Amino acid sequence: MASQSQLLDKRPAETLTTDVLVVGGGAAGLAAACTAARQGLKVTLLERYGFCGGAAVAGLSGTVCGLYLARPGAAGKPEKIVFGFVDEFIAAMNARSGLTGPVRYGDTYTLVHEPLAWRETGDELVQRHGVQVIYHATVIGVHMDGGERVEGVRAYTKQGAIDIRARITIDASGDADLFAMADLPTNVGMDGKVQNPTMIFRMDNVDVSRFLTTYGSDAIMPDAVAKAIIEANAAGAYKLPRAKAFLFPTPRENELLCNCTRVIGRDGRELNPLVASDLTEAEIEGRRQARQYWKFFRANLTGCENATLNDTGVQVGVRQTRQIVGMETLQNQDVETGRKRTDAIARSAWPIELHSGVKPRLSWLYEDYYDIPLGCFVPLRGEALLATGRCLSAQHEAMASARVTAQCFSYGHAIGHAAALSVTENIAVRNLHASDVRTLLNKDGACLDT
C-alpha cells in the first residue's frame, strides 16, 4: 500500500491585528503606510525583502521619474509638478546625499538615487511615523469573510506563519498579488503580453566628466552610440539585443546607472514575470546581458575605458504584470490628451514609455499633464481592499506612463488617506469621496489645485 505524504509546518502561527495592512514596501506602499499611520492608526507593513524600496531598489530602477513637466529639448528650467509625500522623501534622501539634481532624460528630467540611501530613508520614515514593519515576509494567502471581503493575509516568515487581521488591506505588491489570491478581477498587459523585464546595472570607475563632455547631458545616448551597438551586434562581437541605452550619472562619484538590456526569452518571447520559469530565465539572461553591455561600453565609450561592473539589481526590473479592474480605468486617450478630472488624486506628465523591440518608444505630452482618479485604485469588486502603485486600473499604454516612481509616491499618499478615512469614518471603500481625499492631500502640500 502506497504511503500517504503530508504537507507539514508544525511551527505555531502568530496572529496580529491592525487597522491598516500594507503589502509591499515600494514607493507606493511606503507612502501609504506612513500616511495612514500619521492619522493615528495602527499600521502594519509587510515587505518580502529586508528593506523598503521595491523595484526602485531591488530592481535598481535608480530614478525618481515623473516629477517634472516635459518640454521639447527639455528647454528651460525643470518645472516640478508632483508634490506631497514625495517631498518628505526627497528631503530625507538629500540629507544623506542620496539624490542627484535634475538629470536630463530626453525632453524631461529625473532624479537619480543611491540605493543604500533609499533603504536607510525607508527605515527612517517608517520609524518616524510609527509603522510596524515586518521584513522578509511573503504573503501566501488572503483571509476572506464570505465571498469578497478581505480581512487580512497569511504571511510566511522564518519564524513561521503570521496571520494579520486588518480593517483595511492595501495591495502595494506591484503585481496585484492579493487580488489574484482572492480571485478578484485583474488584467495582464495587452492581451496577456507584458513589457519585457530589464536588468539594470551600475558601472564604477567611470570618468564621468569626460563621458558627459563627449555624449552630452541627456541620459538617452545619442544615435551614434545606438549605431555602434547595432554594428557590434551584427558583427557577432557581442550579444546586445537593444540599441538604445539610457546611462545616468549617479550621486556616487565615477558611477553610471545603466538601463539598456532587453531581456527576452530564448524563443524570442517577451518574458512574463508572473510565470516562475520566465522570471528565472529573465534573471539569468539579464545578468548575462549586463556583462555583455559592460564589455561593449568599456571598449567603445569615452570615459568608460577602466569601468568595472559594480552590481546588477537584486532582481530583474519588472515593468508590468497585473492591473486591477477598478471603478475607473485610466485610458490611453486620457494620457495622450492631458485629461483633467475633479476626482483626481495624482497627476503625471511622464511619457508613454514602451520598451518592446530594439528601440524604446517615448510618446511625450508637452507643457501639460494628465490626472489619475481615485477610482483607479478602488476595485470594482472586493470589500475592505484597496490597491496602490503600478497595479492601478489602466489600459496598456496608459500604464506605461502612469507606473513610474513619483506617481507611485502620489498614489500611496492618496490611498493612505483613503484607507484612514475608511477606518475612522467606517466608510466602505466604494463609498469614499475623491474630493475628501483630495482635500487631505492638499493639506499635506500635494498642490493638486494649483
Joined grid coordinates for residue 12: 505555531
Alpha-carbon distance values, 181 to 143, 146, 154, 419 (Å): 10, 14, 11, 20
Distance CA 385, CA 377 (A): 9
Q: Which helix (H) or strand (E) covers residue 440, if one does?
A: helix 434-443
Predicted confidence at residue 360, as pLDDT, reads 62
Among 183-197, 313-327, 340-354, 412-426, name the one with the lowest average pLDDT. Answer: 183-197
Q: For 181-230, what is each residue's pLDDT tens digit?
A: 999 999 998 887 888 889 999 999 999 999 999 999 999 999 999 999 99
- Give the chain's domains with CATH numbers: 14-191+321-443 (3.50.50.60), 201-312 (no CATH)
As a whole number of Å, the end-to-end CA separation of the chain is: 75
pLDDT, mean of residues 160-171: 98
Distance CA 96, CA 102 (A): 17
Count the neighbouring beta carbons within 10 Å of the beta carbon of residue 417: 27
pLDDT-above-90 percentage for the chain: 90
The β-bridge relationship of strands 43-47 and 149-157 is unpaired
3-state secondary structure at position 394: strand
Distance CA 87, CA 432 (A): 26
pLDDT, mean of residues 422-449: 97
Residues comprising the chain, all counted: 450
Joined grid coordinates for residue 379: 476595485
Could you list the beta-strand ranges (E) of 217-255: 246-249
Model's pTM, two decimal places? 0.96
Phi-psi region of 183 (alpha: psi -120 to 50; beta: other; left: phi over 0): left
355 — pLDDT class (breaks 50, 70, 90): low
